[in-house]
Structure 1
């Protein structure tokens, strides 16, 4: 961009999941000198690392894919309603190969530090191997949930058996036949993996801290007729991407549950339960903002759990209480609750029987000792911020991003941060991230960042930086959007509540992807309101 002799790249991308791949593809097409660095040995991000048995998307496959390329959308045919991890990974690999991206990616390389050089307006980025590269712009595509969290349990290092985290599952098959397996964690990953483990292991002990709401997936193979009809729906899906709250249609009745009679209400909920998927939470207009309305939906799901689990005591321990449905991630599984009807599957309630230590041969709680051959941690992530704060990013005047976010992250639009020029975050905190279809959010962010970079190039400007006042205003809007919901009634990873010592700040924007897109696009149309775009002094020869 005018000074290529003194920098390695115009744009450096961190991550080669869906966000990083799409960003790299758009940069390549626009003629930017670009490169991506990826910790893993292949593309796919979330779907490269999360290889645990039962891993699959909880958005329908036909919506969990790119829409920016009509031919790509038409050429790829999904096999199931909710695709499995191997199929989604193949899709990511197909996209990367089709776009010719592999030569532009450095694999098996973690970024450990990134420093902004104020004198040259260039990012210096260091890898775990000691290499340093310099780039005018830095784009993080590290994902919202890519920093695995393992609780600090006394004695963990003494355990002599096999130990796995669902987010770092081995590529090679794990043989669980005849083994005693303990699973710690009952969030989305735990709820998906537990039925699979129960089908192979001799004994399964599930250690549950917080019961979670889970609904049936209703997964099935897509019919030939459904596959054949998909290309004709492309234009409609593109329209829905920008005009709906989630980035795809989630059908609802358009009516409040509180104004719906008992029989009609029950009929709607039964239909949604039989259909499967998470649309049950959007069936009525008031269950996401009114506690009385939410309780009617929650009680319906609680009764379904009680009807599924044959042992009443186990059922009650599995029934979520104390928080509204939908304020934690709603889980999807076709066999989770039924798994506890098997004689070799046991539930341990850590609320009443906490873990005291992990021993060489298993787990000891305050009430019992459990001999185990395998420990599986399904304990989630330091979401939204962990992958960024662990990277040692330093902006103007030596300000550390981790220090700046100690009291909770603040961004402008989830895309940029004041004090960190030329740094852009795809689906960063303050954007809709996991509260929308993440593929739709990625496509919007990538296009928005690309257009800003093109604007800078065409106007011969080198630096874009979020203004502090705009960042403060956006933080207030993010908080206000959350306050119009019931999210604050639950201790969730949306608030950082799963990480000891993490500031309790609601991190995603809860106003809907359609509203969010309009806000971001209005910022761009008004000359990137809230950003300072400038021509800062170029470094002289030999300053590299």
Structure 2
């Protein structure tokens, strides 16, 4: 730790990313007296909620739990307008936090990391950016998010298309004028659904290019008045504790007991209630066996298909919009607001790319195996290289020049999703093999990881250590435990971005640890043991 005035460009810690995790990590370390700099590729704070400004972008966790818990002042002063806020409001919230805590003075915007090398002699990270900056830091903390490296489509020819192409994760901040246009949306996951349901009434023609249909659950949004806000503020302490110990970091859980404790009518009532809650309780609030028992999952999947089918007028079209190749909950479950009703409109056409794949862009649109679709705008909702993509793109090299991208290109391994063997003093918020990677209300898991990392760094300072790194044995044990735990679920049987199957050549492993409460307990035990299984050096 630096006790004298440090040289310019030398820090105790460099935090990468100024989203939910990065802002909190900057705050925690700065409050603890460390000299810390946050690097952010965007020109403003917000992370995901800066970049993902596509039409219809909206939080699908309730606002009263999608927030910071560490400051009562923040809770009391911010007025959420809705149960599920739209992107602009969430971005404003993060700007409010940055301003309230005076965080901008320690954030360097428009700075994208393109290299980080561990120097064993100085026990420092040597960090470079695309803008030519050179920095040194004892600790490098990645807060780049688990869904921040956009996946480009596998079909070629975008350069010849005379229209406009936009990826949802890099959508123009000024928006696009879609009125009266012929628009194609590629992808029908959570993001694609939000775009499609939002723009269908605005465009002249909408072509929806679907490969894998989703089990969309109807969102029940509501506007908040002062009485509702006061209700949730009064419960803030209770909620902050509750979300730390549930399966997915929400204020609801599998509170109905086992599927096998109920008769058929009771099971149906639970499924109906969870579905009609208009929240992700339909996913992680009915019965735990939905994730582990194929027969139970089949019943829930049939129930979900029944509810979706009733929304679509054309029976043949309805069957194309129903998932049949995977079970409910084993793929990301989105909330939707009128998505299925969109397909009852005359200006909307579903293009099933399982029947005829997209081959390329053309000068006038998209060419599938059997048709050329003429379009003015193509919106790509093609997803991300989840969990690992942002980290591997930073060109990180650890001890003895070990390349993180090459290591994860062979096998995706980590220790608690927080550190990687061979990379001393590198911390990975939302790294792979932790709940924050994919299966958690993000504010719950990101804050938990930031707190663990901060406490760890404080422990090093208090005991005179310079470095921490997990032993290979500890990492192997965590990966084995993670795999054993994952393999008890149905998620590993589904090909999805949860398992890295959306990226060609990516090693297959369930990216997210399942069980927020269990994970927190494990992490707390590691800290209480003085970081047993980690190598601490002076």
Contact map agreement 2:185 2:207 (CA 8 A) in 1: yes
1:20-55 residue CA offsets vs partner (Å, 9 max, x unmatched): 000000111111000000000100100000001111
For 1:91 and 1:506, locate their aligned partners in 2 and report how far apart those are by CA, in whole Å. 32
1:478 pairs with one of 479, 482, 491 = 482
2:314 pairs with one of 311, 316, 321 = 311
Contact map agreement 2:257 2:287 (CA 8 A) in 1: yes
Residue 409 of structure 1: how far off its partner (Å): 1.6
Higher mean C-alpha displacement, 256-265 vs 299-308: 256-265
Contact map agreement 1:181 1:203 (CA 8 A) in 2: yes
1:264-303 residue CA offsets vs partner (Å, 9 max, x unmatched): 3333322333221111132123212101101111111101
Q: Which runs of 5+ in 1 are unaligned?
A: 536-544
Say what the alpha-carbon RMSD is for the aligned residues.
Answer: 1.4
Residue 499 of structure 1: how far off its partner (Å): 0.7
User: TM-score, normalized by length of structure 2?
Assistant: 0.97
For 2:463 and 2:255, locate their aligned partners in 1 and report how far apart those are by CA, in whole Å. 49
| Alignment partner of 1:441 is 2:445 | yes
1:467 pairs with one of 471, 474, 477 = 471
**Aligned position for 2:234:** 232
**Aligned position for 1:184:** 186
Residue 185 of structure 1: how far off its partner (Å): 0.4
For 1:267 and 1:522, locate their aligned partners in 2 and report how far apart those are by CA, in whole Å. 39
1:39 pairs with one of 38, 41, 47 = 41
For 2:18 and 2:181, locate their aligned partners in 1 and report how far apart those are by CA, in whole Å. 35
Aligned 1:468-507 pairs, distance under 5 A = 468-507=472-511
2:335 pairs with one of 329, 332, 336 = 332
SS state at 2:139 partner: strand
1:98 pairs with one of 90, 97, 100 = 100
Task: Note closer, same or farther for the CA distance 1:165–1:465 as it changes in structure 2 (3 Å cut).
Answer: same
1:306-330 residue CA offsets vs partner (Å, 9 max, x unmatched): 1111111111111001211111110
Contact map agreement 2:498 2:511 (CA 8 A) in 1: yes
| Alignment partner of 1:390 is 2:393 | yes
Aligned 1:87-166 pairs, distance under 5 A = 87-166=89-168
| Alignment partner of 1:197 is 2:199 | yes
For 1:243 and 1:133, locate their aligned partners in 2 and report how far apart those are by CA, in whole Å. 38
**Aligned position for 1:288:** 291
Task: Note closer, same or farther for the CA distance 1:494–1:217 as it changes in structure 2 (3 Å cut).
Answer: same
Higher mean C-alpha displacement, 469-478 vs 406-415: 406-415
For 1:364 and 1:94, locate their aligned partners in 2 and report how far apart those are by CA, in whole Å. 45
For 2:219 and 2:162, locate their aligned partners in 1 and report how far apart those are by CA, in whole Å. 36
Contact map agreement 2:186 2:382 (CA 8 A) in 1: yes
User: TM-score, normalized by length of structure 1?
Assistant: 0.96
**Aligned position for 1:266:** 268
1:180-212 residue CA offsets vs partner (Å, 9 max, x unmatched): 000000111001110111021000000011111
Task: Note closer, same or farther for the CA distance 1:17–1:269 as it changes in structure 2 (3 Å cut).
Answer: same
Contact map agreement 1:202 1:344 (CA 8 A) in 2: yes
For 1:175 and 1:390, locate their aligned partners in 2 and report how far apart those are by CA, in whole Å. 32
For 1:30 and 1:126, locate their aligned partners in 2 and report how far apart those are by CA, in whole Å. 25
For 1:224 and 1:68, locate their aligned partners in 2 and report how far apart those are by CA, in whole Å. 22
Residue 223 of structure 1: how far off its partner (Å): 4.1
Higher mean C-alpha displacement, 227-236 vs 95-104: 227-236
**Aligned position for 1:541:** none
2:519 pairs with one of 510, 516, 520 = 516
Residue 173 of structure 1: how far off its partner (Å): 2.6
Task: Note closer, same or farther for the CA distance 1:109–1:152 as it changes in structure 2 (3 Å cut).
Answer: same
For 1:408 and 1:387, locate their aligned partners in 2 and report how far apart those are by CA, in whole Å. 16
